[in-house]
Amino acid sequence: MAENSKIEWTHHTANLWWGCTKVHAGCDNCYALTFAKRVGNDIWGNDKPRRMIKDVWSKFRKFQKEAEKQNEVHRVFVGSMMDIFEKPMPLVDHDGNPYSEGESEFWNTGQLRDKFFNEVVPNSPNLMFLLLTKRPSNINKYIPESWKENPPKNVMFGTSPVSQETANKLILQLSEVNGLRFLSVEPQLEKIDLMTMVNDETDRVLLDMVDWVIQGGESGHHRRPFDTDWGRLLRDDCKKKGVPFFFKQIDKKLEIPQDLLIREFPTTKTEILNLKKTEMKTKMKKLKCVTVEELRVINDNSTKAKFSATYDIDGLINDGILSDIPDFAYSVQLCMVHENQDGSSAMRVYVSTNTRFKSIILDMTEKDYDGLFKMKFRVVA
């Protein structure tokens, strides 16, 4: 298992086991199969066992600890030497000895997968797991039942089309999965049009079904040719649809043209909140005070949005806590990002009042928050 992976679109790669079976033409020159043969592992094919990777669990804990310490979200590709949604297969150790049912904690890959889903994912909020498969029709079969209604926010489900035929088939299968979805279009072997209409009585196209597109050609001694116009087609279509686009490589030998050197990532919820916190610090330098008239508008909008921190502004005025003098403003003591129960975020604002040492707390919408900074003049209390 690799740390700080050489795969450009992830921070780390992780494998619960080694071994797989070829599925389509994209597997013909599989680097994982070549490497497994080189080290003497007979773990490829429907009738072969898979080699268990014992230290993967400690690696997951290490990845989470590092990301948490840096207050970042790190991507983890699962897995480079396996397909996590392959059917359960028997396990062997490093020397090829089989694990026996009843004598070992794990004896098939399905058990490792369940441990990962139930123990690792829920305890790794700073990791974004990229679960890439050539078998998307198996995803709903093997994920926990709870994920089907409430998919984890730190998991992206992906598949690897390499031709128009595989794109039409695999993306439709992937679309049946509830949650964040991505494509790894590599190695791309022919022109693929992701603006192809989906035959489901809607106006949707294939690209509407995913949240991120990675694209690249094949590398290695037996690499097949890649046409850079294929890259420009996906690049332009992703831009039209607002889908992040990551161009990985032509073949690891040829230099990537400047117009294709685009490496975008989807923004996770945690990253959005961190960005808002940074933005908040910048804007707080400008925001000094707020009038009662503004508080009234903010409060009404927050009530409509069903935010938790709202007040009866008129009641506060009647009680002498706030003043109704026009243009009289109160200082803003603190702003912070608040996450609501429904998953949305609000700007929580602590505002001084007429009562000494007392402040009121309001949740404001992003629109109100941005609107406050358009005011140029204020009378400060």
Instruction: Give the torsion sign (CA, 218, 219, 220, 222).
Output: positive
What one-letter code names the amino acid at 215? Q
Position 201 scores a pLDDT of: 75
> Could you tell me if residue 4 is left (phi over 0), alpha (psi between -120 and 50 degrees) or otherwise beta?
left
pLDDT single digits (tens) 246-262: 999 999 889 999 999 99
Of the ranges 236-245, 312-321, 333-342, which is most confident? 236-245
Residue 210 pLDDT grade (very low, low, confident, very high; cuts 50, 70, 90) = very high
pTM above 0.75, yes or no: no
> 3-state SS string over 8-51?
CCCCEEECCEECECCCCHHHCCCHHHHHHHHCCCCCECCCCCEE
Position 108 scores a pLDDT of: 96
**Contact assessment for residue 232 and residue 192, using Cβ atoms and an 8 Å cutoff:** no
Q: Give the CA dihedral 302, 304, 306, 312, nearest 10 degrees.
A: 60
Compute CA distances 260 → 26, 225, 230, 256, whole Å.
Answer: 22, 17, 10, 6
Residue boundaries of the structural domains of the chain? 12-268, 271-380
pLDDT single digits (tens) 23-82: 888 888 777 777 777 777 888 888 999 999 999 999 999 999 999 888 888 999 998 999
